[in-house]
């Protein structure tokens, strides 16, 4: 009697897999571990949120994926960044340049400093189209107008000849999105794309990302400190603190049952209109120095649950439920009223 072969489908490999990534910076003789052992993945058509307070390593992680970490003072200390099976850290510069702006797009945090002030919007989009798609002249201009229309910039056929200083902050952010989408990337990195925008414009920007995902099945990494944006837009979340991933979960699981004391503190600090006291909750203390001398859990100095083990041993990131990983000696933490 012969057994039927196992016909269970093999799960598709993620589009991007970051494995044990460490990025260090040497400044005035000291080495700072800005990113230290971070791992995560993102699938095609998925939106992954990376959250945490300023200085936690979110933006450095995105720059590392794009191979834009300045060297020196920065260096890739260890790890791999696998994009569609290829380690980006091992690619020759020429091949990395072909991916950057082509199959991998990025929306930088501050559009006014990212856009070139002496070139029109159309010229800047056309340059990307020329390098990656071979479009020039009228074809590039028409494509630029199409992109500005897609990101809902008013009067795109006129705005294509404007300069960045002639636009509002929200309009410049739309142009940055148009630039990032010019070559229909497989992976889009968005670093704080809604910072300093009013809630109406923020909602419109997030809707554009949903349109992109529906149209191209692109994977998106959304870097933000805004948990409201995460709840609205992300499928899964990585919470970072002091250069490390301290919690990974689906968005639903994270909001229903946060398990790391830092994540719990972030949730508590979100303003609520039904708050009894009217006072905002805060996380006492500050982020520790990341110069490699810290022992134990990096959150121990600010954590209400910290004990001797927390101060002596760094907790590993382990699964406490399917798809929910936490780096805390006290996890799982029971829900509190």
Q: What is the share, in percent, of the chain residues with pLDDT greater than 90?
A: 52
Rounded distance between C-alpha atoms, residue 329 and residue 20, angstroms: 20
Q: What is the CATH number of the domain that holds 256?
A: 3.40.50.300
90 plus 205 within the same structural domain: yes
The reply to whether 4 falls in a domain is no
Tell whether the model's pLDDT for residue 270 goes beyond 80.
Answer: no
Report if residue 63 sits inside a domain. Answer: yes
Both tokens of 24, joined, read 């260090």
Residues 290 and 167 in one domain: no
Q: Where do we find the tokens 């919007």?
A: 121
Going by pLDDT thresholds of 50, 70 and 90, the confidence category of residue 337 is very low
Q: Is the dihedral of CA 261, 266, 272, 276 positive or negative?
A: positive
Residues 178 and 223 in one domain: no
Residue 202 sits in the same domain as residue 53: yes
Residues 188, 110: Cα–Cα separation, whole Å: 16
User: Which of these, 222, 239, 142, lies nearest to 180 by C-alpha position?
Assistant: 222
Question: Which of 142, 160, 182 delimits the end of a domain?
Answer: 182
What is the pLDDT confidence band of residue 276, given thresholds at 50, 70 and 90? low
Select from 182, 206, 238 the last residue of a domain: 182
Within-domain flag for 154: yes
Residue 1 has pLDDT above 70, yes or no: no
Q: Same structural domain for residues 160 and 277? A: no
Percent of the chain with pLDDT over 70: 93
User: What proportions of the chain, in percent to the nearest 5, are helix, strand and coil?
Assistant: 35, 25, 40
Question: Is the pLDDT score of 5 beyond 70?
Answer: no
Number of other CB atoms surrounding residue 101 within 10 Å: 20
Is residue 277 assigned to a domain? yes
Residue 252 has pLDDT above 90, yes or no: yes
In this structure, is residue 8 part of a structural domain? no
Are 192 and 282 in the same domain?
yes
Q: Is there a single domain that holds both residue 55 and residue 165?
A: no
Section 191-213 average pLDDT: 80
CA-based R_g, the chain, Å? 22
Do 214 and 307 lie in one domain? The reply is: yes
Residue 38 has pLDDT above 80, yes or no: yes
Provide the domain count of the chain: 2
**φ, ψ for residue 181 (rounded to 5)?**
-95, -5
Residues 6 or more apart whose Cβ sits within 8 Å of residue 5: none
Contacts of 296 by beta carbon, 8 Å cutoff, 6+ apart: 309, 310, 311, 312, 313, 314
Q: Are residues 300 and 322 in the same domain?
A: yes
Domain around 135: 112-182
- The verdict on 171 and 39 lying in the same domain is no
Question: Residue 56, Cβ neighbours under 10 Å: how many?
Answer: 26
Per-residue pLDDT of 169-189, as tens digits, reads 888 888 988 888 888 889 999
By mean pLDDT, which of 64-73, 192-201, 224-233, 322-331 is the weakest?
A: 192-201
Helix (H) or strand (E) holding 271: none
Beta carbons within 8 Å of 121's beta carbon, 6+ residues apart: 115, 144, 148, 159, 160, 161, 162, 163, 164, 167, 175, 178
Domain end point (choices 125, 157, 182): 182
Instruction: Provide the pLDDT for residue 73.
Output: 92
Question: Would you say residue 248 has pLDDT above 90?
Answer: yes
In angstroms, the CA 173 to CA 328 distance is 37
Residue 7 lies in a domain: no
Q: Is residue 335 part of a domain?
A: no
Task: Answer yes or no: do 204 and 305 share one domain.
Answer: yes
pLDDT for the residue numbered 211: 82
57-87 pLDDT, tens per residue? 999 999 999 999 998 899 999 999 999 999 9
Q: Which position has the token pair 């056309």?
A: 126
Of 36-40, 158-162, 191-195, least confident by mean pLDDT is: 191-195
- The per-residue pLDDT for 10 is 56
| pLDDT at residue 163, as a whole number | 93
pLDDT in tens, 289-330: 888 788 899 999 999 999 999 999 999 999 999 999 999 999
- Crossing angle of helices 121-133 and 169-181, rounded to 10°: 10
pLDDT tens column, 87-130: 999 999 999 998 988 899 988 877 777 888 999 999 999 988 88
**Across the chain, which distance is largest between two alpha carbons, in Å?**
77
Q: Mind spelling out the 3-state secondary structure of 9-58?
A: CCCCCCCEEEEEEEEEEEECCEEEEEEEEEEEEECCCCEEEEECCCCCCH
For the chain, the average pLDDT equals: 87
Residue 55 pLDDT grade (very low, low, confident, very high; cuts 50, 70, 90): confident
In a domain, 76, yes or no: yes
Q: Which residues pair with 51 in a beta bridge?
A: 224, 239
- 78 and 221 co-located in one domain: yes
């Amino acid at each position: 009697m012969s057994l039927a072969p196992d016909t269970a489908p093999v799960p598709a490999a993620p589009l991007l897999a970051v494995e044990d990534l460490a990025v260090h910076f040497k400044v005035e003789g000291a080495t700072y571990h800005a990113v230290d052992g971070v791992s995560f993945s993102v699938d095609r058509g998925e939106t992954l949120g990376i959250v945490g307070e300023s200085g936690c390593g979110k933006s450095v992680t995105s720059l590392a994926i794009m191979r834009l970490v300045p060297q020196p003072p920065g260096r890739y200390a260890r790890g791999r960044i696998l994009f569609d099976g290829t380690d980006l850290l091992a690619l020759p510069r020429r091949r990395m340049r072909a991916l950057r702006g082509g199959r991998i797009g990025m929306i930088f945090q501050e559009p006014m400093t990212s856009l070139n002030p002496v070139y029109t919007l159309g010229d800047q989009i056309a340059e990307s189209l020329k390098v990656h798609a071979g479009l020039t002249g009228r074809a590039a201009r028409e494509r630029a107008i199409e992109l500005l229309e897609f990101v809902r910039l008013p009067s795109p056929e006129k705005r294509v000849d404007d300069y960045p200083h002639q636009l509002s902050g929200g309009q410049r952010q739309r142009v940055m999105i148009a630039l990032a989408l010019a070559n229909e990337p497989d992976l889009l990195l968005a670093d704080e794309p809604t910072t300093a925008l009013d809630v109406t414009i923020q909602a419109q920007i997030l809707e554009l990302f949903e349109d992109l995902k529906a149209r191209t099945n692109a994977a998106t990494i959304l870097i933000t400190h805004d948990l409201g944006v995460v709840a609205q837009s992300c499928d899964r979340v990585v919470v970072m603190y002091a250069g490390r991933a301290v919690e990974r979960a689906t968005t639903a699981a994270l909001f229903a049952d946060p398990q790391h004391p830092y994540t719990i503190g972030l949730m508590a600090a979100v303003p609520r209109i039904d708050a009894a006291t009217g006072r905002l909750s805060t996380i006492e203390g500050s982020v520790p120095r990341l110069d490699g001398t810290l022992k134990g859990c990096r959150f121990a100095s600010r954590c209400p649950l910290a004990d001797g083990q927390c101060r002596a041993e760094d907790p590993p990131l382990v699964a406490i439920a399917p798809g929910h990983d936490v780096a805390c000696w006290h996890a799982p933490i029971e829900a509190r009223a």
